[in-house]
Amino acid sequence: MLARTFTKILRRASTISGHEGMESSKDDRPHKLKFSKSLEGYSSVLSEPHYGNGGKEQQQQQQQQQKLNNDRETMVESLFSNLFARISAIKAAYAQLQFAQSPYDPDSIQSADQAVVMELRNLSELKHCYINNQFDIHALIDSKSPLEAQVQEQGNLLQTYKITTRKLDSDLNFKESVILSLQAELRELDNQNKSLKAKLQPGRCSVSGLDDLHLSALNSNHFLTVLQYAVKSIRSFVKLMVQEMEAARWDLDAAAAAIHPDVVLWKPEHRIFAFESYICQKMFSDFHHHDYSLSSLKDCANWNQQQFFDEFVKLKSLKTKHVLDGKVAATSGLWNFCRAKYLSLVHQTMEVAFFGSLNHRSLVISGRGFSDSEFFLAFAEMARRVWLLHCMFFSFGTEMEASIFQVRRGCRLSEVYMQNVAVDGAGARPTVGFTVVPGFKLGKKVIQSKVYPWGGKLNGRS
């Protein structure tokens, strides 16, 4: 304890001063008597003062001095013990004063303020006692013994820690509430950001904003979101397919020309639109039929509006690997749809050129699943998204009159029904060369089809 430390320092100082007094008294001690050979001085020796009584008096003085030192030491220890007790009391009262500020508690503030003032007054009295060298503090009001003061000091420190803990708990609760508020604000901003991205960047969309969608609230904007979601996967698959063509040393110009032989592309990079058109033709063929005109999907022919919507809700968050391993085959038409469209879209010649054999095709035909290669993963994800669009298409009631359409070659471009994918390559009065992505009508809402313009050239002839 600090009080005991100060007391030891003072005791050491007193001990040093006591030794100095003893040194000075050495010269006053009786000299050793020397007996003469005769007894001439014997009478004079007997007549000198009795040094035995003087030694007893000196011993009594030392005992009295020691008692005074001990009393002084006790009083100093008591002084410092009370001093530290008062300081700890001030700290506890000030901590309570701070804690009462937030939330504002006027009664606690007044009580803590009075406690601080009272303890400062007591501390001032102790200060005057020390300055005036009056170490006997028992006459002071509320003075305590050293042990009692130490107990009070520890109690005040404990009270300070308790108040600090309460304040930290209060701060923690406040910060947690702020975190929850900010998290809610962040989610709201994320939703707004996704909505803006969907409007500004139609190719970069997702269906995460449809998590809380209900059949009764379904509208054309939801369908547009899923359509953009599907088109994005189609473009990703086309890019991967072109990479495989290049790796297999295919003539990309010849491959694009084989898809639409009567249309001359304005630029070499426009080949991508021809490939997208081919994929969309395969994936959206018979889209307007419940069962896609596939015998493997005959169970879907009798599905109603609610069943298609339930299928959409179940599959919109499905992982692509679950499509490949066939885990959804028992309860969904997705696996059969994916299997049928792969066999239709990926020709045997293409598969041999890409993979060197027909092993993957044999695996699909056998119904045992798909390969887990990058190519098959991309295809399965594309098939899943197109199937989601198909399910949402038939989730609309008959009053919506949902339909799909594509534009014939040679038709004049219409901004109402068509979107030109290659504006920079169109002539003065362009017409439609081929449909890249089909369009849709949902009631009075028209979702434009994406078309490649034709400037009047046919196989290089004007």
Q: What is the pLDDT of residues 305-342, one digit of tens each?
A: 999 999 999 888 887 777 666 666 555 788 889 889 99
What span, in angstroms and rounded, lies between the C-alpha atoms of 319 and 325? 11
Section 297-301 average pLDDT: 91
What span, in angstroms and rounded, lies between the C-alpha atoms of 311 and 315? 6
pTM value is 0.56
Closest CA to 432 of 273, 285, 288: 273
Q: Indicate the SS3 state at residue 55.
A: helix
Range from 46-60, 242-256, 366-380 that averages highest in pLDDT: 242-256
Report yes or no: 337 and 297 within 8 Å, Cβ to Cβ: yes
In tens, the pLDDT along 354-378 reads 988 888 888 888 877 777 788 888 9
* Distances from the Cα of 313 to the Cα of 185, 205, 307, angstroms: 26, 17, 10
Closest CA to 409 of 456, 345, 441, 446: 456
**Backbone dihedral region of 263: left (phi > 0), alpha (psi from -120 to 50 degrees) or beta?**
beta
What span, in angstroms and rounded, lies between the C-alpha atoms of 43 and 453? 153
pLDDT band at 170 (very low <50, low <70, confident <90, very high): confident
Does residue 8 carry a pLDDT above 90? no
- State the pLDDT at residue 197: 65
pLDDT band at 37 (very low <50, low <70, confident <90, very high): very low
ω before 438 within 30° of 0 (cis)?
no
Task: List helix spans (H) across 284-397.
Answer: 305-315, 320-324, 334-345, 348-355, 359-366, 374-393
- State the pLDDT at residue 135: 56
CA 305 to chain centre: 40
**Phi, psi at residue 453, to the nearest 5°?**
-75, 150
Range from 31-40, 70-79, 335-344 that averages highest in pLDDT: 335-344
Q: At what angle do helices 348-355 and 220-247 cross, to 10 degrees?
A: 60
Q: Read off the tokens for 177.
A: 């509430």
In tens, the pLDDT along 109-167 reads 888 788 888 888 877 877 777 777 665 555 554 566 777 777 877 887 888 888 888 88
- State the pLDDT at residue 206: 64
- State the pLDDT at residue 326: 61
CA dihedral 199, 204, 210, 215 (to 10 degrees): 70
Does residue 457 carry a pLDDT above 60? no
Cβ neighbours of residue 141 under 8 Å, at least 6 residues apart?
Answer: 122
Strand order in the sheet with 449-454: 418-420, 449-454, 431-437
Report yes or no: 417 and 449 within 8 Å, Cβ to Cβ: yes
Q: Read off the tokens for 341.
A: 């469209």
Q: What is the C-alpha R_g of the chain?
A: 50
User: 60-74, 239-253, 319-333, 447-461 — which is least confidently predicted?
Assistant: 319-333
- State the pLDDT at residue 38: 46
